[in-house]
Structure 1
């Protein structure tokens, strides 16, 4: 009675309590965006860039320093007052005592430093660079997760086809075995189909292993625990192919400025330009204001050097004008100038390079799209030929060799279709990458 009650209670519970969540491509990418370890690295780089900006700004803010000293003059230094000033003989005088202490606080404020002013402009670009590196990391995560996700889909499709073929071989083995027993066909006919059946078993084992390896790769790209199970939604994967492989009649209006790589090169060129101008600004004088307050004491005993301390203070301006560092600064400036010129030239090269990559990716995607459609039709055609051959074999008008050739043609058409389908997925991903639209692709899922 208790057992029946327990079973009835379990039947009333929501089935979702026992079902493991199924992962779509979008949910895999969402998880990867949060858990891939690269995100932590680039997030830390962005924080470091923010701290670097504050450090550069601090050079133009007031700074306070505290200084203190305590001297024990083991032998007090004496100076000489020449004869004739206070008497006919030289006079030896000590202007300090055995102990002397000194403490001071000084505030320094930069009033004008052109190189610092120019250098502050780099803060904006340092932050941009860190942000773009973070964006590039996200694009890499999208690309790698999508690739691994569709590898699982392709291997599952392959596994389904292999099992279907295996079942055909098994059925044919049963039929042929009966004919061998009746003596209407030779044993070698059964051996032929048995060989292909065993090959199908081996191929199924390889496909199952490939699925496991692809799932592990997907987990790694997501930052998902390797030992935990993950269920990929094959139906959703097949539906997403409409997003991955749409008709490409229209151009995507390619713009090189959408490429994160190009934006990073622009930022790098700007930083090199600022570095060049900062070095050049080193020729200008630096003006600094300061205020100092302190106390000094002397005594024959240690405690006297503190009890007799007297205070002092001062304010002033310091002007620093570099004169003899022209050759060093000029060499540094020329290095920075040529680095900047090379960065500008690299930008021009990148414009042509990225446009070429996009056009090649677009051409390859359209080609692979055509290949998928042709290979899909070839499967139907090969299957039609096989059905006719199978019927002929059942009626005894053809032999096992023709039957196996027809079935092998089906397998070849299936393999060609799966290869072209995966190539189309890779080409489409490459197209999104070269167009700089991987995040747009992700949000459209």
Structure 2
């Protein structure tokens, strides 16, 4: 338990709190079965083994940080959204490449005519009824369009690469957020442990005081003071336990894990022995320089500028003439076509006789279209400048965030050093207060105040340690785009 690692069991007065031993922990469930049910020694051993096996089986299904990160990368909804955006960009690129292939369209039409219409034999209008149909194939392709399509393809390719870096950023951000949530869960669990010890200590003091009140050694007001302190400590414990629940809910949101599914973090042996860079090795300018190379958003912004530049060239090309090729095949059939002998002309013969073929070149010259092409070109040029501003703003924010993170890391280290000194001073004050209280030289209110100061100092130290770890991991994240615990 981290609390005992920081404070030590010697800090807990066993005379005041006889329920706390300087040894291992005993399961409250086992004590219940052993003392209340008065089970036999053999049966108790069997139950102990069964309970240990069940506990071991449950403990195996724990969530390490790596498992959380891996699961989140596969299931997080925001990452899935970014995957969809990348896929849409890939489809747009694919379509722009397919646009280089000439278009081919076919059509077939059929209809029934009744009334006056030209006769195929005499070319005069007569009353007749007949069925007719026609079929055609049309081909259109571009020969030269001032590289508009080539620049469109290049712009879409840069968009795909940009979205790839945005997906990488989403994954890196998720890994960092999961690590932060994991640290928060560990911190909240440690605060629960500290509050549990405080509740047990106050409860033990209350039981001891009740005996002294009955014996007439201390006034009844001492008991009332301790009862009020126990209520306050219990409230703090409930708050700490609720904070654990809230931090686990936040983790489940990152994981996209069902809120009804149990979540048990795999707590490292000693979170404070994690390897971390030294603060003097994390100068803000050095971290920012590394981030310029590694940060995916920086790379994405540069690619967006290149995409906007190519899109501008593609739009500008639409103001110039373009040369295209076109071709067509056409044929018809009608059941009122007859030979000179009066026999209907067969379908295959009509299709062959009526077949027409056409091929040609087309030059399209834009003359006046409401200035739409010029306006689109101007917008595309402004968009380049807009993307450059986005890049500059992102770089400015990145630099500000790094300097802020470094300043916070410095403050967190100073706060941790101060809290360490505070715990030592509070512990010494509490030890003296315990001796005076046992000798009846200190009233309950003053003793409770001293005890509360010690526990507050211990909680502040634990919080300061976690805060320092978080701030250093944030600097490492900006520098390397990696997070590990």
Q: TM-score range by the shorter chain?
A: 0.7 to 0.9
The separation in 1 between residues aligned to 2:448 and 2:56, in whole angstroms, is 45
Which residue in the other structure is 1:248 paired with?
279
SS in 2 for 1:231: coil
Aligned residues: 422
CA distance 1:48–1:328, change in 2 (3 Å)? closer
Show structure 2 runs of 5+ residues with no match. Answer: 1-41, 339-343
Q: Give the Å deviation of 1:400.
A: 2.1
Residue 404 (structure 2) aligns with: 360
Structure 2 residue corresponding to 1:140, chosen from 173, 176, 200:
173
Rounded to whole Å, the distance in 2 between the matches of 1:318 and 1:77 is 35
Matched, 1:112 2:163: no
| TM-score normalized with structure 2 length | 0.78
Matched residue of 1:330: which SS?
helix
Please give the residue correspondences for 1:303-322 in structure 2 after superposition, counting only pairs within 5 Å: 306=347, 308-309=350-351, 310=353, 311-322=355-366
Gap change, CA 1:348 and 1:228, over 3 Å in 2: closer
Q: Secondary structure at the match of 1:121?
A: helix
Q: How does 1:336-347 map to 2 (within 5 A)?
A: 336-347=380-391
Q: CA deviation at 1:375?
A: 0.8
Q: Does 1:410 align with 2:441?
A: no
Mapped partners of 2:149, 2:370: distance in 1 = 18
User: In the alignment, which residue of structure 2 is the partner of 1:441?
Assistant: 483
Tell me whether 1:350 sits opposite 2:350 in the alignment. Answer: no
TM-fit CA distance, 1:417: 2.4
8 Å contact kept, 2:328–2:357: yes
- The aligned residue for residue 328 of structure 2 is 292
Q: Give the SS at the match of 2:404.
A: helix
2:96 corresponds to which residue?
56
TM-score by length of 1: 0.84
Residue of structure 2 aligned with 1:194, choices 227, 239, 244: 227
Alignment counterpart, residue 66 of structure 1, candidates 102, 106, 110: 106
How far off its partner does 1:157 sit?
A: 0.9
Q: Tell me what 1:372 maps to.
A: 416
Instruction: Name the counterpart of 1:28.
Output: 68
Asked if 1:273 corresponds to 2:317, the answer is no
8 Å Cα contact 1:71/1:100 also seen in 2: yes
Which sections of structure 1, spanning at least 5 residues, go unmatched?
79-90
**CA distance in structure 2 between the partners assigned to 1:422 and 1:305 by the alignment:** 91
Q: CA-atom RMSD, angstroms?
A: 3.2
Does 2:244 correspond to 1:211? Answer: yes
In the alignment, what sits opposite 1:260? 296
Deviation string 1:106-142 (CA, Å, 9 cap, x unpaired) is 3333222221121110122121132122212212321
CA distance in 1, matches of 2:53, 2:200: 38
Deviation at 1:305, TM superposition (A): 9.0
